[in-house]
Amino acid sequence: MENEPPGKNHPLFQLNNAIFTPHLGAVTREASKRAEWGAAEEVVRVLEGKSPKNPAVQLK
């Protein structure tokens, strides 16, 4: 999508088989738990001397 949020007349809003939510629509307890566990697992990996699976920056 080029512009966000889309204008009121965007063709997507004409669909009767779609539900639109703000970005917060993905914030669930389950998603939060997965993020927490993923972060904890990364910390453990680094403390064990391993490289993180998902580094925020590329390590040299």
Question: Does the bond joining 6 to the residue before it have cis omega, within 30 degrees of 0?
Answer: no
Question: Residue 38 has what pLDDT?
Answer: 92
pTM above 0.75, yes or no: no
Domain ranges of the chain: 11-47
**Residue keyed to tokens 């453990």:** 44
Please give the Cα distance from 42 to 53 (Å, whole number).
7
Mention every residue, 6+ apart, whose C-beta is less than 8 A from residue 45: 51, 52, 53
At 6-50, the pLDDT tens digits run 888 889 888 999 887 777 767 789 988 999 999 999 999 999 999
Q: What is the 3-state secondary structure (H, E, C) of 31-58?
A: HHHHHHHHHHHHHHHHHCCCCCCCCCCC
